[in-house]
Chains A and B, each alone.
Chain A
Amino acid sequence: MENELPNAGLNAPHDSAHTPAQHPLPNDLPRPPGELQQLQAAWLPPRGWRIVSSVNNTHIGLFYIGTALLFFVLAGVLGLLIRAQLAVPGNTLLSAATYNQIFTMHGTVMMFLFAVPVVEALAVYLLPSMLGARDLPFPRLSAYAFWAYAVGGLAFFTTLFFGVAPDGGWTLYPPLTGKAHSPGLGADFWLLGIGFIEISAIAGAVELIIGILMTRAPGMTLTRMPVYAWAMLVVGVMIVFAFPSIIAGTALLELERAYDWPFFIAERGGDPLLWQHLFWFFGHPEVYIIFVPAAGLVTMLLPVLARTPLVGERAVVWALVGVGVLSFALWMHHMFTAGLGWWSVALTSVASLAVAVPSVLQVFAWLATIAQGHLRRCTSAFFVLGFLALFVIGGLTGVMTAVIAFDRQAHDSYFIVGHLHYVLIGGLVFPLFAALYHWLPLVNGHTLSERVGRWVFWLMFSGFNIAFFPMHITGLSGMPRRVHTYSAESGWAWLNAVSSAGAVVLAAGLALCLWDLVRTLRKPETEHGDPWRGATLEWVPNNDYGMRSMPQITSARPLWDQPGLQAQIEAGAHWLPGNPTGGREALITRVRDAKPVYLMALPGDGWTPLLAALGTAGFFLLLTVGWVATAWACGLTAIICICIWLWGLDRASTITHAAIGRDVSVPVGGQRHAVWAFVLVLLVDGTVFLSLLYAHLHVAMAAEVCPPPGAALPAAGLALAVLLLWASAAGAVELASVRLHLGTGLTKHTPLQQHQARGVQWALLAAALLTTAACALALVAHNAAGLNPRADAWSATVAALLACAVLHGVCVVAFAAFALARSFCGLLLPCHRAVLDTLRLLVQASLLQAVLATAVVHGLPSWLPL
C-alpha cells in the first residue's frame, strides 16, 4: 500500500533543492560528441511518401490510430443511416435488404475495425514511450499487422458499395449465414475478411505482451509499471485466449459454406448453438478487451488531472486482472433464451453478476482519487466525468440483464441496444476522447482548443444520452432489435424520433471535434512543454528513437517523484545513451525486476511488412471472390516477404557486448523475447485446437449414436502408429537440438564443425520426413475408414481436427526446411538457434495436440453411454 499517505514522499523531494541523484547516474556526462548524431541517423525515418515503409512504432501507431478513427467515422455514418431509417414509422428510405447490410456492417466495423484496433493502436503509439523503450520488440510485426488491417478493412468496407456486404448481423449466427440461407458472398467476406483481421489483432497482442514484459526501462518493476501497461497486458492475454475461438468458429463456418461440412446444420447432426458458444466465448471477453484498456486510460488520466496519486493502485490492478479472468466465464449470458441447461444458466448468471464487482471497485477508486485531489477543469476531465456517468448506467443495465427473468424480456430488444451503446460508447469512446484531448500534444506539440472542446463534450454527451437513453424504454415497449421499420400503431414512433434527433447531435459533436483535430494537426510542430505536468515517461520529449537514454526508474510516477529526471534523460545520463551496434536496438530487461539482460538489434524500415500485408489481404479477399490463381500469387508474395525478413534475423552482431552504462555492459543479441513470443503464438494455436476439439465434443455428445451410422474411425493400431511417427519427429528435432549444443564449450561463435552440422541436418531432414509420414498415414487411414466430412457433423469435426493436424505438419516441415537452409548457409549456430528452438516448441505442441485429439476422438465412443 504505497499510497496510503499521499502526501508522504510526494512533497518531500519538492520542498528542498538538494541534488536529485542520491545514487550516481548510470552514465557520465557530458556524452562523447557524435553519439547523438549516430543515434539519430539510425532512427531516421524514410522521407516523404516512403514513410509508409516505416516500421517505427511512432509512425505505425499514428497510422493505426488514424485508420481506426476513419473506420469509426465510416461506421458512424452507417449508424446515422440506421437512425434516419428508423426516425419515422413505415419509412421506406432503406429496403430491408439494404438495412440488413448496413446494420451488420455498422456493428462489424465498429467492433472489429474500430474498437479492437484503436485499443491496440493507442498502445502501439503510447506504450513504448510510457515504458521508456525505444520501440516495440517486433517493429515489422506491428507494421505488418497494421497494414493487413488497413488494407483488408478498407476492402471489406467497400463491399457495401457493391451491395455484397454481409447481412446476417455482426454475430453472424448460422443457419441464417449458412449457404442455404445466405448464398451470396457477403458472409464469406465477413468470415475471411474479419478472420484475418483477427490474426492481425493477435499479432498486435503478442507484440504488446512481450513489449510490456521485456522492454521496460531498467528499474520499472512490475509494481512500478503504469496501470495502463497492466491493462494492456491483461488485454493482450485476453486476446490470446479469446480470439482463437472465433478463428476456429469462422474457419468452421467457412468450411461449411465452401465445402458443405455441416457443423451447424441440425438435420445433419450439427448444432446452430455450437456457433453461439464459439462466437460468445470470444464475443464476451471482447467487450472487456475493449473496456479494460479504456479503464486503464482513465486510471492514467485521473491522477494527472486531479494532481494526486491514484487511490488503491494495487486494488485497481487486481480488479483489471479479475475482470479479465471473469469475462471468460460468462459468454453464455448471451444465450439465456436459447434453452441452455440448468447449470450453465446458473453459473453464467452468477459470473455475470460477479464481474460487476471489480468494475465497481475501479469506479470507487476513481471517485476516491477525485476526492483526494483537485480535478482540473479541462475537456479531458469532462470526458472522464462523462465516462463515469455513462459507464455506471451501462453497468447497471448490464447487471439488470444478468437477472435471468428480466433478460428474457430485455434480450434482443432495444433495451440491449441501449445497454451496449452505453457500455461501448460510454466505456470506450468517452475515455478515448479524454485520451485524445490529453495526449494529442505528444503528436505535434499542440493541444486541442478548450473552448471548442467544451462544445464537443456537451454536444456528444447530450446527443448520446438523447439518442440512447430512450432505447431502454423502446425495448421495454416491445421493440425488437434489427427490424428495419415499425408500424405507427406500435407506439414506438416518438421514442425513435427522439433517438434519431440525439444521433444527429452526437454526430455534430464528433464532426466539430474532427474539424478541430484537423486544424490542430496542421499547425507546425513544436515542443509540447508537458501541458498537464504528467507523471509518466511519455511526457519526456520523444523522438523517432524514443528517449535519448533509458531512465533508471525508482517510482510508479517517475516524473513526479524523480526530480530532474527529464533533463538527465535528455542529456544522456541514463542507460544506453547511444547505439553501440550502430543500428536500431532495444534493451531487453527482466520480467519481474526490469534488470537489463541483453541488447536486441531492431530491424530498420523496409518494404517487406507492407508487401507481406498486401499479399495476405489479397490472398483472403481474392479467394472470396474466386480469383484463385491471383489469390495464391498474393499468398506466395506474403510468404516470400516474411521469409526474407525472417532470414535476416538472429545473426551475429558486430560486437558481442555493449556498454549501456558506466561499468555495465550487456550481451548483444539474445532470442529470449522471440522464443517467448512464439510460446504465445503456440498458446493461440493451442486454443484454436481446443476450440475445434470442443466442437467435436459438442456434436459428439449431441449425436444419438457416436460415431453416427456409416461413419467409422481408423483402427486403434493405425492411430497409435500416427502418434508414434509424430513422437519420432519430435525426437528427431530434439536430436538436432542436442547436436547443436555439443561443442558450445569451445567458443559460441565459431562455425560448426562439418560432422556436427551434418548431424543437425540429417536430424532435421528426418524430422521433416517423419512429420510428412505422420500426416500421410493419418490421411490414408481416415480415407480408408471412409471419412466423409459432408455426411454428418461428427465426421466434419473429425475432418477439421485432421486438417488442423496436417496444417501443423506443413508448418513443421516448413520450419525444418528453413532451419536446414540456414544450416547450409552456416547461420544455424549454437548461439543463433532461434529457428531450432521454435521448431522444437512447434513439433512438441503438434505432438501434444495429436495425442489429445486421438484420445478424445477415439476414446469418446466408448465413454459415451449408448
Chain B
Amino acid sequence: MNFGPVLSPDGSAAQLDAPLAWALMAGAALLFAGVMALLVYALLRSRRLPHLHGQPHGQPLRQQRWLVGGGLVLPLLVLGALAVVNLRHLLGPGVNAPTHSLVVGVNAKAWWWQLRVQDPGHPDLYTANELVLPVGRPVRLSMVSEDLIHSLWVPALAGKVDVLPGRVQHLVLHTEKAGRWSGPCAEFCGLGHTQMVLQVVALPAAEYAAWLHNQRLPARTPTSALQQRGLQHFMALRCNACHTVRGVAQAVLGPPATTGPGRASEGAEESAGGPDLTHLASREFLGAGSVRNNAAGLRAWITGVQTLKPGARMPGYGHLDEATLHALVAYLQQLQ
C-alpha cells in the first residue's frame, strides 16, 4: 500500500523520518480522540445536573485533576518526549555524506534547476531539470541560487532545504530503489513557481555508468538531411545564444566551455543562459516539468513557450513555418 511520498518514502533520509511521521499522526489521532471523549463525558456529566431555571450553579468537580493532570502533566509529558526527539534529531548524524558520495552542484534559477555533475577525471557535466542518481550511492547536492529563494523538495527522498541567494546549502539524497520522482520547488518564487519541478531518476549502477558515459560525449552529429536542416535552423535562429550544445554550439550566455575537474566553487557558476541541450532527448520533460519531451511537446514548447510557462526567458517562436519547426524538432529529438 502506498501512502504517498512522505509516509511511504523511497530515499533513506525520508525513510528515517517516516516512522516519526506515522507516530506523530497516530499520537495526534489518539490525543484528539481522547480530548473529544472527555468533551462528550463533560457534556453527559452535566445532564445529571437539574436545570435550576437559569440560575448559575455547578456540581462538585475535582478541578486539580482537570487543570493539573490534563492541563499540565499531560502536555508536559507529550511535549517533553517530542523535545527529546527534536534534540536527538539535531544531535544525531542524520544521513551524512561519505567520502565516496557523488557531488552535484545545483543552481536554482527562476524557474529551472541547473545541475553540474562532478565527474572525477573528466570535465563537469552540465544538465538541467533531471537529476540522475546511482542506486545505492549517496549524492551530495551543493545548492546555490543566484536570483530568488527556492526550495528543493523531493518528498519521497528527503525533506526540503531552502536555497537562498548568498548561501550554499547542502542536501544528501540516497536511495536503494531505482525509480523516478518529482521534486517541486517548495518556496514560492513568482510567476514560474508551479513549473519548477526537478525530476529525480535513480538508475542501477550499470545503467548509471552508461548514462554518465553518454553524457560525457559531445552532442551527436545529425545524420539525416532533415536533422541537418534542423541544426542549421538552430544556429540561424540563434538558439545557441542561450543554449549550449556541446561540440556544436557554445552558448554565448551559457556556462564556461572548459570546466576542469576539482574547481574550487561547488555551486554552478553564474550564467544568464538557458538549459544545456547537449543530451536534451535523454530527459523526460521540457521546461522543468512543463510538458513531456516528445515531438508534440517540443513543438508546443517552441511555438508556445509563453503560454506553457509564462515568464520563461525564452521567447515563443509561433511564427516559424511548418517545415522549419519539423526540422528543428527532428534535430532536437536526436540529441540523445
Contact = CB atoms under 8 A, between A and B. Distances in A.
Interface in A162-205: 167-169, 173, 175-176, 181-182
B184 A10 contact: no
Nearest to A345: B90
B144 to A, nearest CB: 10
Nearest to B62: A368
B151 A337 contact: yes
A497 interface: no
Interface string A667-684: 000000000000000000
A809 to B, nearest CB: 34
Interface in B70-98: 70-72, 74-76, 78-79, 82-83, 85-87, 89-90
Given A309-B56, A371-B45, A403-B20, A272 B71 contact: no
A686 interface: no
B235 interface: no
B160 A392 contact: no
Nearest to A268: B166
B237 interface: no
Interface string A406-421: 1111111100000000
Given A308-B58, A409-B160, A484-B194, A396 B166 contact: no
Interface stretch (A48-56, A134-142, A474-482, A720-728): A474-482
Interface of A is mostly: helix
A9 to B, nearest CB: 11
A406 B21 contact: yes
A404 B165 contact: no
Interface string A298-334: 0000010011110110010001000000000000000
A409 B67 contact: no
* Most chain A beta-carbon neighbours within 10 Å: one of B57, B58, B76, B158: B58
A636 B153 CA distance: 51
Interface stretch (A17-25, A352-360, A620-628): A352-360
B25 to A, nearest CB: 8
A403 B86 contact: yes
B258 interface: no
Interface string B21-32: 100110010011
B110 to A, nearest CB: 8
A728 to B, nearest CB: 43
B71 A364 contact: yes
A389 B79 CA distance: 20
Interface residues of B, number: 86
Given A356-B75, A371-B61, A404 B86 contact: yes
A405 B87 CA distance: 10
A614 to B, nearest CB: 34
A396 B28 contact: yes
B83 A368 contact: no
A480 B153 contact: yes
A535 interface: yes
Given A339-B167, A405-B89, A175 B149 contact: yes
Interface stretch (B1-9, B216-224, B328-336): B1-9
B169 A339 contact: yes
B42 interface: yes
Interface in B207-234: none
A23 B32 CA distance: 50
Which of A14, A307, A356, A371 has the most chain B CB atoms closer than 10 A to its own CB? A371
A402 B82 contact: yes
B79 A353 contact: yes
A406 B21 CA distance: 6
B55 A315 contact: no
Contact of A403 (B39, B47, B71, B85): B85
B162 interface: yes
A482 B155 CA distance: 17
Contacts of A408: 17, 158-161
Contact of B57 (A97, A373, A385): A373
B63 interface: yes
A485 B194 contact: yes
Nearest to A396: B28
A175 B165 contact: yes
A464 interface: no
B311 interface: yes
Taking each of A272, A373, A480, which has the highest tally of chain B beta carbons within 10 Å of its own beta carbon?
A: A480
A125 B79 CA distance: 38
A402 B5 CA distance: 20
B185 interface: yes
A357 B79 contact: yes
A357 B76 contact: yes
Interface string B304-315: 000000110000
A761 to B, nearest CB: 54
B57 A10 contact: yes
Contact of A315 (B3, B41, B67, B162): B67
B39 A370 contact: yes
A482 B90 contact: no
B61 A476 contact: no
Given A96-B192, A273-B164, A484-B194, A311 B86 contact: no
Q: In which size bucket is the chain A interface?
A: 35 or more
Contacts of A167: 190
A10 B153 contact: no
Contacts of B200: none
B24 A400 contact: yes
Contact of B148 (A175, A271, A396): A175
A173 B149 contact: yes
Given A96-B194, A373-B57, A400-B24, A406 B46 contact: no
Contacts of A176: 148-149, 188-190
Max count, chain B CB within 10 A of own CB: residue among A5, A267, A482, A491: A482
Contacts of A175: 147-149, 165
B187 interface: yes
B43 A14 contact: no
A222 interface: no
A337 B67 contact: no
Interface in A423-449: none
Contacts of B21: 406, 409, 476
Contact of A373 (B49, B74, B161, B165): B49
A364 B6 contact: no
A560 B56 contact: yes
Given A181-B148, A413-B186, A399 B79 contact: yes
Interface in B174-194: 182, 184-194
Contacts of A96: 191-194, 310-311
A357 B187 CA distance: 30
B5 A478 contact: yes
20 contacts: A6-B57, A6-B58, A7-B58, A95-B310, A173-B188, A272-B149, A273-B164, A308-B57, A346-B90, A365-B71, A368-B63, A372-B58, A389-B39, A392-B35, A402-B86, A408-B161, A410-B6, A473-B4, A476-B155, A478-B155
Given A337-B151, A361-B71, A368-B42, 20 more contacts: A307-B56, A319-B71, A337-B186, A342-B90, A349-B90, A356-B75, A360-B75, A368-B66, A370-B39, A371-B66, A373-B49, A374-B49, A392-B31, A396-B28, A405-B89, A406-B17, A406-B21, A478-B156, A480-B185, A533-B54
Going nearest first, the 9 A-B pairs with the smallest beta carbon separation are A408-B159, A266-B166, A6-B58, A361-B71, A371-B42, A368-B66, A308-B58, A364-B71, A364-B70
Interface of B: 3-7, 14, 16-17, 20-21, 24-25, 28, 31-32, 35-36, 38-39, 41-43, 45-47, 49, 51-52, 54-61, 63, 66-67, 70-72, 74-76, 78-79, 82-83, 85-87, 89-90, 110, 147-149, 151, 153, 155-156, 158-162, 164-167, 169, 182, 184-194, 310-311
Interface of A: 4-7, 10-11, 14, 95-97, 100, 167-169, 173, 175-176, 181-182, 265-267, 271-273, 303, 306-309, 311-312, 315, 319, 337-339, 342, 345-346, 349-350, 353-354, 356-357, 360-365, 367-368, 370-375, 385, 388-389, 392-393, 396-397, 399-400, 402-413, 473, 476-486, 491, 533, 535, 557, 560
